[in-house]
Amino acid sequence: MKTISAGDANRQFSSLLRDVATGQAITILSRGKPVATIAPPDSGGIERQIAKRNLIERLQQQKPSGERNWTRDELYEA
């Protein structure tokens, strides 16, 4: 992980964003201590995306269950 001082981060912010866009995480230091990390957004990871796709496929294959013995108006009665 790359580290950079707060002052340098301020002066080189556009360059830092380009580095983050390539997947690099950067820690910002203030007086030598870490105060922030700039990192790419978490896309949920590949495992999460696979699990979501599998769940949607399984749900689409299932038939609806239970009876619908209520009307829309009954559902939204005050």
pLDDT single digits (tens) 26-55: 999 999 999 999 998 876 678 888 999 999
Domain ranges of the chain: 1-63
Q: What are phi and psi of 77, to 5 degrees?
A: -65, 145
Question: What pTM does this model have?
Answer: 0.54
Contacts of 45 (CB under 8 A, 6+ apart): none
CATH class of 1-63: alpha beta
**DSSP symbols for 27-77:** EEEETTEEEEEE-PPP--HHHHHHHHHHHHHHHHHSPP-S---S-HHHHT-
